[in-house]
Each structure stands twice: as structure tokens, then as C-alpha cells.
Structure 1
């Protein structure tokens, strides 16, 4: 289903039996909790795409920086 969206070099489908889906789901949950502007019912929700991209960019860079320490 994702073949026309994600390049085949970057998308590697895995099954639930591989044990890798929990890492992806945990990251998605952390992203949703820490970047509150992604949740529609918050005061920090923004309609500008640039604000969403900036908030996600900042979160990912900060998340990777903390993990590298």
C-alpha cells in the first residue's frame, strides 16, 4: 500500500512476529505526546504547515541529540 509513497529503499515491511513494530509505535506515541501541535484539540494547534514541519524537525533533532549523549 505504501509503494507509491515511500521509496522501496527506505520502506522495509516487517510483521508483528519480528518484534520491531513496538519501537515504531513507541516513537509515534512519543512524537504525539511531545509535539502537542499535532493534536487537534490543543491550544497550540497550528494551521500552518511550516509550523508543523518546524516543530517535528525540532523534536527529531532534540530526540536524536538526547539519545546520542
Structure 2
């Protein structure tokens, strides 16, 4: 989770807490929204990283197969 995401999540938690304490449903929901957005960004970042890892592994395997068929070694 990036620093911006952590900050957004912290702000969301604070808004939720204040909303609960003041019985302010709108502020509490706004805090939940902030936390959900931060978590969604984190999930997206992790997913993008994993897809990059998988793509790199596939490219490496494709290169290995090509080398076997062409007789080339790295």
C-alpha cells in the first residue's frame, strides 16, 4: 500500500470514528468510502504486480521454447 493509500485509509478510519461518536451517518459512510477506495487501489496495485510477474515468466518460457526449436542458447 502506497503512502497516499495509507493516508486515505487512516483518514477514512478517523472519519468513521468521529461519525460514530457524533452519530453522524454521512461522515461515517464517507469514512467507509475512503477506506474502500484505498483498499481497492492497493488491490489493483498488487494485481498489476502479479500480472507483470506472470507475463515475465510466460515471456521467459516462450524464449526457452524458441531457443530449443532454433538451437540457440542464451
Smaller-chain TM-score bracket: 0.3 to 0.5
Larger RCO: Structure 1 or Structure 2 (Cα < 8 Å, ≥ 6 residues apart)? 2
TM-score normalised to the size of structure 2?
0.34
TM-score normalised to the size of structure 1?
0.36
Give the number of the structure whose residues are more often helix, by fraction: 2
**Based on CA coordinates, which of the two structures has the bigger radius of gyration?**
2
